[in-house]
Structure 1
């Protein structure tokens, strides 16, 4: 299996290779690199697609410690170093967008463009934190089955694929799942720094997203100087790249052809 030794972690990644522009895909909380399969299938060949598992997720072998999304941004930049990539377009879903924004702030010269899917730049309000605390404690105490009915519907809203992701959770230790949510709870507010991020940016958002409501995507569209468009996916929840890939892949491909 391909692993990159970065910042004391062993990051799992997959790389389609090729000579096309590089796009690095960063997944959302409690997901893994496999969530990007529809996008990689659509883009590979024309683009060099890199997917990876972030700390506390998937096949990555990490130290198990809590961390910040600035740490995750450094992981992404270290992965670029490992692959010998000077500059890439970054596509991030939810927390993958959190770390992509921070990578653009940390090393703007390394980031050519941003595609942010159901992501945000703010910290969580108290009611969201309370809900996440319950989810984290549920994972730790009773395991995935205790939180799956609510959480899968909230994250995906497409029952046909719920079983696959519940299976993926069962493959992870309860404590790891709980800690992944705890990291999510600690996200800091970078909304006042969005004006520093001048790369071209595509914002995609599910119309019915509950965890990251549409106004937070609209904020990114309004405050990122390079934002070219806001694509709202009708009827989609939090993960339209997985549940509504045909409606995401078109705008994403067009954006990358122009800006990657």
Structure 2
């Protein structure tokens, strides 16, 4: 995979290339940019799709010092700079959505639209923080044993063949249980600033998502001035763009076709 050097750090990404309007996509926790393989295939060459690996995931190493999703947002902007992309539709699933929101707050002039799937603007809910903290502690102690990763894969991917594939990946790679996990658990609340984000925003949510209740997506619908209603992807868990790509892609194409964009590089 190509890499960009950001402040001396390697950041991994995939890029379909081409002259179409750019779409930058960020994955959820424990996954990587490969979850967008179906979007990269379906959207190009009409759109130039870039899927990048966040710190501690895929081909991007974790950092030794603490960081936040604001730093992830700066990473996304740095990838755009590296590729010579001035403006893009920015989006992601779960933590990729946390990052996209902060990217729009940091550099609204560079974000032409948002794609927000199974994500939220608030801090980690206390119950979620406790549950995830216990899960991460168990993974640190016992490693990716079936008792842990089967439950985790079903939560993230549902009853889909991709869950088997990702369990196998987790067994053979380093899990992001250091600073990346702290970033997830300690994230700040940006819900009070959503009115500042005025670009069009597509909202997607899997009907079987056990990680993120629908009301957190409805908060985005209520407070983002340019938001669509929440599009429910029936049967999907926490990562619809991977497990229910055909349904998600139909909505994505309709949204992207309506976003007023300028190709500026």
The TM-score bracket by the shorter chain reads over 0.9
2:160–2:243 Cα contact (<8 Å) kept: no
Secondary structure at the counterpart of residue 11 of structure 1: strand
RMSD between aligned residues = 1.4
After superposition, the C-alpha distances for 1:66-104 in whole angstroms (9 at most, x for unaligned) are 320000001001111111100000121000000000000
| Structure 1 length-normalised TM | 0.95
Q: Would the aligned equivalents of 2:4 and 2:82 in 1 still touch at CA under 8 Å?
A: yes
Provide, for residues 117-157 of structure 1, a one-character-per-residue CA deviation record: whole Å limited to 9, x for no partner: 00100012221111100111122111112521211111111
Offset of residue 237 of structure 1: 1.4
Compared CA separation, residues 126 and 62, structure 1 to 2 (3 A): closer
The corresponding residue for 2:80 is 80
Residues 46 and 9 from structure 1, CA distance in 2 versus in 1: closer, same or farther, beyond 3 angstroms? same
- Extract structure 1 runs of 4+ deviating beyond 4 A: none
Q: How does 1:75-154 map to 2 (within 5 A)?
A: 75-145=75-145, 146-154=147-155
How many residue pairs end up in the alignment?
Answer: 259
**CA distance in 1 between partners of 2:253 and 2:160 (Å):** 27
Matches of 2:69 and 2:31, distance apart in 1: 16
1:159-174 matches, cutoff 5 A: 159-174=160-175
Q: Secondary structure at the match of 2:29?
A: coil
User: Is the CA contact 1:135–1:178 (under 8 Å) kept in the aligned structure 2?
Assistant: no
Q: Which runs of 5+ in 1 are unaligned?
A: none
Report the Cα distance in structure 1 between the residues aligned to 2:248 and 2:105, rounded to whole angstroms. 25
1:7 Cα deviation (Å)? 3.0
**Cα drift, residue 201 of structure 1:** 0.4
Q: Deviations over 1:169-224 (max 9, x none)?
A: 223224x3354333211111100000000010000011221111111111111110
Q: Would the alpha carbon gap of residues 159 and 179 (structure 1) be closer, same or farther in structure 2, given more than 3 Å must change? A: farther
SS at match of 2:220: helix
Contact kept? 2:62, 2:179, Cα under 8 Å = no
Residues of 1 paired with 2:151 and 2:93: CA distance? Answer: 20
Structure 2, unpaired ranges of 5+? none
**Partner Cα distance (1:41, 1:5) in 2:** 26
- Cα contact 2:98–2:121 (8 A) shared by 1: yes
User: Do 1:38 and 1:242's aligned partners in 2 also have CA atoms closer than 8 Å?
Assistant: yes
Deviations 1:217-258 (A, max 9, x none): 111111100113320112221111111111110011110111
Aligned to 2:20: 20
